[in-house]
Amino acid sequence: MTRHPCLAVEQRWPDPFAERYRQAGFWRGETFAAVLRARTAAAPDDIAVVAGETRWRYRELAARAAATAGRFLDLGYRPGDRVIVQLPNIPEFLSVAFGLFEAGIVPVFALPAHRITEISHFAAAAEASGYVISGAADGFDYCGLADELCRRLPAIRHVVVAAGDPGRFVALTDRPGGTPAASAAPATGPQASEVALMQISGGSTGLPKLIPRSHDDYLYSVRASAEICRLDRRSVYLGVLPIAHNFPMSSPGVFGTLYAGGTVVLSPAPSPEIAFPIIARERVTMTAMVPPLALAWLEAARTGRHDLSSLRVLQVGGAKFTPEAARRVRPVLGTTLQQVFGMAEGLVNYTRLDDPEAVIVETQGRPISPDDELLIVDDDDQPVAEGSAGHLLTRGPYTIRAYHNHPAANARSFTAEGFYRTGDVVRRTPDGNLVVQGRSNDLINRGGEKLSAEEVEDHLLAHPQVHDAVMVAVPDRYLGERSCAFVIARGEPPKPADLRAWVRDRGLAEFKVPDRVVFVDSFLTTAVGKISRGDLRRRLAEQAAPSPPAHPAKG
C-alpha cells in the first residue's frame, strides 16, 4: 500500500470552498505529471529546456522525469515522503521536480543561498528523508553542506547528486532513460487534491515556514498566470532568478511555460552580461526579475550591444518597483513591463499586458482569480474606507489555509475565517489595482530576498559579547531596504565585522547577514514595553550617513 501526501485537516479548504473552486473550473483534478505527459504527447519534439549547449525536447524531459521517479522508488522512497531539493538553474531542476511529482514524493524547494542552519531546519520541519543537490555550484560546496546535514539529521537517508560527479553520494542517473521499477511504482499516481510540493515562506517572525501546495491549487495559479501572460507554444521564458522561488517557478515562470508547451531557457546568472547574449541567441520572449536587477538591466541596455528585440514582457516583482524606474522600461528595453505582487503562500497580482501605461507603472496590479477575496483592514481587522491604506488579508482558490505543521504560526497568520494575513500594507485604486505601501511586520525585503529580523536577532543574541540586539530595515535606493542591527554590547563591544562573520558562520544565507551594525547604550521602549523599532529607524534616519554596501544583492 502506498501513502499519498494528503493535506492535513487544518490545511484543507472547507468543503463548500473546495466545491465552489471545482465547479468554477479552477481546480480541474489535473496533476503535474499528467500535464507533462499531455504536452509530451502533443509535441514530443518541441524544445522544453535549454541551458548552454544542452537542449532537451519534451520527450527527453519526460523520460528523465520518469527515470528520476524510478530512481527514487528504487531507493526506497514512497509517495508522501519529503525530499529537500536545493538546485541552481540547471535542466535537472525540472527533471527532478517532475520525477518527484510523478512518484508522489514531495519536493521541498530550498533556495541555493540557504545554508546549513536553514536546510537542517527545513529538513527537520518537513521530516525529510532525502536531499538533492548538484555538487559544487556558484563556488559553494553543497557536498560539504550535505555531510553536515547527514551528521545533524540521521533521518536523511540519501544525498542525491542531480548533475556532475556524485562522489561519495548517490547519482541521479543510474538508470538513464529507464522507467520506474514495476515493483516499486505506486499503483496510482498522486491525486490532484494532494500536496505536490512545499515552498519556503519569507518568514516575518522567527524561522522560515513550509508552505504546502496541492496540484489543484498550484496548477490553477500556474495555468491562469500563463493565460494572463498569453504564453503559448512559441513562448521562450528565461529563468534568471533562482527558479526554486515561487515567482520564476509559477508566476507563470518555468512551470507556466511548460504548461503552455513553450521553451524554458535557464541562465546560470542574472547579470546582463550573461543574460543578454542568451536572450539574443534563444529569442527569449519573457523573463522575470526583482527591482534591483531590473535597474541593472536598464542601465546595461542603454549601451545597446545585444539584440533584445524578441523580448515582449519583462516582469518585475518580489519588492516594490518605483514608478520612476518602471517608467523607463518601455523606452529603454522596448518591452511591456508587468508588475507582479505575489507571495509563496498564494495570492498573485499582475498588471495586465494591455493595461494603460499609468496602471502598469504606478500599481502592482490585481489578483489572478475572480474568487480571490481581498480585505483591506485596520489594526482591529475592520475594513478601512475604500482607497485608504490598510493591512491586506486574502483567501482564495490558491492561497493556503495553513502552514505545514506549525500551529503557533497558523494562529498568528490566519484569521478564524481562513484569511491569510499577508503582512503587507496596501491601498486599492478606484479601478481595482493594488498599490503596495509597505509592511506591517518585521520582515525585511532586501531587493526581493526576504528575511525575518527576529531570526537574525536570535543569532546575534547567541554571541557572548551581545547583551541585546534588534534589527530593522533601512531604506535603500538600490535594494529598497537594507538591514541594520542595533546592538547593546555586553562589556567590550565586538567589531561589527566580527559580528557579521558570526552570523554568517552560524550557517545562514548571506543575504541575512546584517548590512550594518550600530552599537547603542539602550533601546527606547514603547508604551507596552516593546522595543521601539520605529525609534531605531528614526535614529538611523537622523544619522543619515549613507554607508557603502556591505555585500551586493544577488546579481
If the CB atoms of residues 57 and 327 are measured against ligand OOB, the closer one turns out to be 327
**What is the smallest separation between the CB atom of 318 and ligand OOB, expressed in angstroms?**
4
Phi, psi of 84 (to 5 degrees): -80, 130
Per the listing, cell 552580461 goes with 273
- Name the DSSP letter for residue 80: T
**What is the smallest separation between the CB atom of 246 and ligand OOB, expressed in angstroms?**
4
If the CB atoms of residues 251 and 285 are measured against ligand OOB, the closer one turns out to be 251
Site residues (CB under 6 A) for ligand OOB, limited to 385-444: 422-424, 436, 439
Task: Give the residue, chosen from 243, 340, 368, 469, that forms a contact with ligand OOB under the rule CB under 6 A.
Answer: 340
Q: Which residue spans within 275-323 are E strands per DSSP?
A: 286-289, 313-317
3-state helix, strand, coil in the chain (%, to 5): 30, 25, 45
Interface segment toward ligand OOB; rule CB under 6 A; list 1-9, 134-142, 337-345, 538-546: 337-345
Picking from 516, 513, 517, the residue whose alpha carbon sits closest to that of residue 489 is 517
| Alpha helix positions (H), 44-141 | 58-74, 91-103, 116-126
**343 binding ligand OOB? (CB under 6 A):** yes
If the CB atoms of residues 47 and 359 are measured against ligand OOB, the closer one turns out to be 359
In sign, the C-alpha dihedral spanning 237, 241, 247, 250 is positive
If the CB atoms of residues 156 and 293 are measured against ligand OOB, the closer one turns out to be 293
Interface segment toward ligand OOB; rule CB under 6 A; list 72-80, 91-99, 246-254, 401-409: 246-254
Task: Give the residue, chosen from 70, 112, 252, 342, that forms a contact with ligand OOB under the rule CB under 6 A.
Answer: 342
Phi, psi of 161 (to 5 degrees): -100, 115
Site residues (CB under 6 A) for ligand OOB, limited to 272-331: 317-320
Task: Give the residue, chosen from 251, 335, 369, 394, that forms a contact with ligand OOB under the rule CB under 6 A.
Answer: 251
Interface segment toward ligand OOB; rule CB under 6 A; list 143-151, 165-173, 340-348, 532-540: 340-348
Task: Give the residue, chosen from 450, 463, 482, 533, that forms a contact with ligand OOB under the rule CB under 6 A.
Answer: 450
H or E stretch covering 517: strand 516-519
H or E stretch covering 324: helix 323-333
Calpha distance 170→188 (Å, rounded): 27
If the CB atoms of residues 180 and 291 are measured against ligand OOB, the closer one turns out to be 291
**Residues touching ligand OOB, count (CB under 6 A):** 23
Interface segment toward ligand OOB; rule CB under 6 A; list 137-145, 244-252, 299-307, 471-479: 244-252
Q: Which residue is nearest to ligand OOB (CB)?
A: 342
Residues 6+ apart with CB under 8 A from 485: 456, 457, 460, 469, 470, 471, 499, 514, 516, 517, 518
If the CB atoms of residues 320 and 463 are measured against ligand OOB, the closer one turns out to be 320
For 290, half-sphere exposure in the C-beta direction (CA atoms, 13 angstrom radius) is 24
Alpha carbon 176 to its chain centroid, in Å, reads 30
Q: Which parts of this chain interact with ligand OOB (CB under 6 A)? A: 202, 246-247, 251, 317-320, 339-344, 348, 364, 422-424, 436, 439, 445, 450
